[in-house]
Amino acid sequence: MPSRTGFCVAIAVAMLAGCASHTQRPTSEIARAQTLIDQAEKAGAQKYAAAQLDQARANLQQADTADRKGKYDVARARATEAGADAELAVALASSGEAQRSAEEVQQSTQTLRDEAQRETAASSSSNHQE
């Protein structure tokens, strides 16, 4: 019988430990979300993904508010959402920058083609005059 009691105590301790992990402050989740938002800002998200960046900031603010009120599960969820929004903003900003670069290359290529055609036309014109 003592082994059965020990087993029950072990189960109860494990269950309490599991519950305790959910009531801990989501400090790392909030810090991660803030870091991702900072990265999004540096990546140019304000230009290419302003809505997602604003949503990330709003979720982070909600996470901070819930954390101060002791609503750690809500704070954790909002911080996770803020991180996801910030990651999306980074991806959209990177995509926007890549698109802009591709357009610049395309424009430069067209300018070179135009110049080459003008030189060819000028060369042909001077050859006909000789």
Answer whether residue 19 shows pLDDT above 90.
no
Backbone angles phi, psi at 44, to 5 degrees: 90, 25
- Within 10 angstroms of residue 52's Cβ, the number of other Cβ atoms is 21
Domain spans of the chain, in order of start:
2-129
In the numeric block, which tokens belong to residue 57?
């900031």
| pLDDT tens track for 68-111 | 999 999 999 999 999 999 999 999 999 877 777 787 888 888 88
